[in-house]
Structures are given as C-alpha cells and as structure tokens.
Amino acid sequence: SKHPDPFHTLREVEILDAKTREKLCFLDKVEPHATIAEIKNLFTKTQGKSLKDEDVLQKLPVGTTATLYFRDLGAQISWVTVFLTEYAGPLFIYLLFYFRVPFIYGHKYDFTSSRHTVVHLACICHSFHYVKRLLETLFVHRFSHGTMPLRNIFKNCTYYWGFAAWMAYYINHPLYTPPTYGAQQVKLALAIFVICQLGNFSIHMALRDLRPAGSKTRKIPYPTKNPFTWLFLLVSCPNYTYEVGSWIGFAIMTQCLPVALFSLVGFTQMTIWAKGKHRSYLKEFRDYPPLRMPIIPFLL
C-alpha cells in the first residue's frame, strides 16, 4: 500500500481576534497548499453575508436555527447630523473672512468691505451653495443608511472647514486682485455656476422622486421632462458632474488657486463615488443603459 503523503495532511486553522484573542472561527480540513487569500475566503464564507434591516428571516437561506453574527461598528452618528455640521461650518467660516472680523487681516481692516464687486458676488455664490446643501439635507435627501462612524465627521469637517477658510482668506484679502479678464470672465463663470447649481438640484429632486418615502427600492434613474436631468442619458451620477462644474465656475470667477485645488480634490473623491455607484448599477440592473459613464460623458 502507498504511504500517505505527509505534506498532504489536511490542516486545521484557528482564527482569533487580534485585539481580544477571542476565537472567531475554526476551519478544519484546510488544504496544506492553501494560500492566505483562500483561507480569508473560507473565513468570509463562515461569517455569512451582511444583512439589511428589511430582510425577512423566512426568506434567508437558514434552517430552523439561524446563527447571526454581531459586529460592533463603533460610535455612530446620523447622516443628517453629519451633513448639517459639514455644511454649516463652511457657511459660517467664509462669512467671518468676508466681514473681516478682527484678528484676520490686521487691525486697520477690521469690519471693512472689499472694493471689488467679484468678492461680494463670490460670497453670495458660496453662501448660496451651502444654504442649498443644508436645505436639501433637511427636505430633499433620503438616506438609505441611517448612520455613519463618528470618526468620519472629524475627517469630513477638517476637509470642508479647512478649505472654506483657505479659500475665504485669499478671496476676501485686502490685497486680492480681480480676475485677469475682468467682468467678462466673472459673467461667464457666474453662468456656469448658476447652471450647475440648478442642474445639481434637479438631479437631487429626480433621485428623490425615484424612491418613495419610507421605501428602499432601487430603480434606474432616467431623464425627466426637466432638461437638466437629460445628463442621465450619458452619466450615472450627474449630481457629481454638476457639483464639480459649480466649483470650476467658482474657480474661474475668483481666479483663486485654493478654489482650483478644492475642485480637483472634490473631483477625485466624487469620481471614486461615481465609479462605485456605476458599478453597483451595472451589477444590479441587467438592462442598465450601456452608453452611460460614471461622471464625465464618453470619458470617465
């Protein structure tokens, strides 16, 4: 008789929590040639899939005894609170620089006003943008997830508040110089900003109407009679396209480097979100329109 191969004896693998040393899982009959990636997959399978709040027990692939696993996600905070904090901050911070409150630009400039029209227009546009966001958070958006980790609010606020202060410092500075091409550049930029703000709001309304109150059903968004929603023909997330467009308009209007950098960072992050949303649409809907791109028509 052949001797059994000592290197092919099936192994047993125990997986422990790195912090608590608590046993999470015991895998028997693991091939000795299994890679760590394969062991990770086996572990994931034993942990089951994450469940939604509306999942019905009867429809889950379980017998008469169901084993559910609890995962502590850490301190959570509601999405509404997150957005209100994120957006109220930039609104307030920008106005501190606009009104030139003491200790910002030097004593002789306290509570003085800029002589350039574009500075006042920029303040109106910036304030309008964040007031719109606050109102949308309260009255338009429907959040499929109720909460997010508390630590995220600190990261997000650092980003929004920090950039608002950086932009506002330069735009409202006593030595600020208006754009190179004067009134023409400002008018063109204002038109871009206003069109994109209207477009962004139109998309948010279309997405809201797609999901009835209280339900979590997902549908493919399509253009409506509103021309601003026609961008749905070419991109999966036109709300992000319009959002980026707004900030590009604001950057052209103010001709300010921190605004351009804020637009670039925002565009990078929104592209990641748009690609994720696009992937989930393709996965969920077999008849998803093939012409659509995540954020930029025909390109990206």
How many other C-beta atoms are found inside a 10 Å radius of the C-beta of residue 179? Answer: 18
Cβ–Cβ < 8 Å for 206, 226: yes
CA separation for the pair 297, 171 (Å, rounded): 32
Q: Does 91 score more than 80 pLDDT? A: yes
Q: Does 236 score more than 80 pLDDT? A: yes
pLDDT mean over 209-234: 87
When comparing pLDDT for 18 and 286, which is higher? 286
CA separation for the pair 248, 267 (Å, rounded): 10
Q: Does 163 score more than 60 pLDDT? A: yes
**Strand (E) positions, the chain?**
11-16, 23-30, 76-78, 147-149
Going by C-alpha positions, the residue among 170, 176, 166, 90 that lies closest to residue 129 is 90
**pLDDT for res 62:** 60
Those residues whose C-beta lies under 8 Å from the C-beta of residue 247, and which sit 6 or more positions away, are 259, 262, 263, 266, 267
- For the chain, what is the mean pLDDT? 87
Those residues whose C-beta lies under 8 Å from the C-beta of residue 231, and which sit 6 or more positions away, are 199, 203, 223, 238, 241, 242, 297
**pLDDT for res 70:** 61
CA separation for the pair 88, 77 (Å, rounded): 17
**pLDDT for res 206:** 94
Percent of the chain past pLDDT 70, that is, above it, reads 84
- Min mean pLDDT across 46-55, 109-118, 122-131, 137-146 is at 46-55
Tokens of 144: 């499929």
Q: Does 67 score more than 80 pLDDT? A: no
Coil, helix or strand at residue 191: helix
**pLDDT for res 4:** 54
pLDDT mean over 200-219: 85
Q: Does 183 score more than 90 pLDDT? A: yes
How many other C-beta atoms are found inside a 10 Å radius of the C-beta of residue 24? Answer: 14
Helix (H) or strand (E) holding 33: none
pLDDT mean over 196-207: 96
Q: Does 100 score more than 80 pLDDT? A: yes
**pLDDT for res 3:** 54
**pLDDT for res 66:** 62
Cβ–Cβ < 8 Å for 289, 236: no
Q: Does 214 score more than 80 pLDDT? A: no
Question: Predicted confidence band at 291 (pLDDT cuts at 50, 70, 90)?
Answer: very high
- What is the tens place of the pLDDT at every residue in 242-280? 999 999 999 999 999 999 999 999 999 999 999 999 999
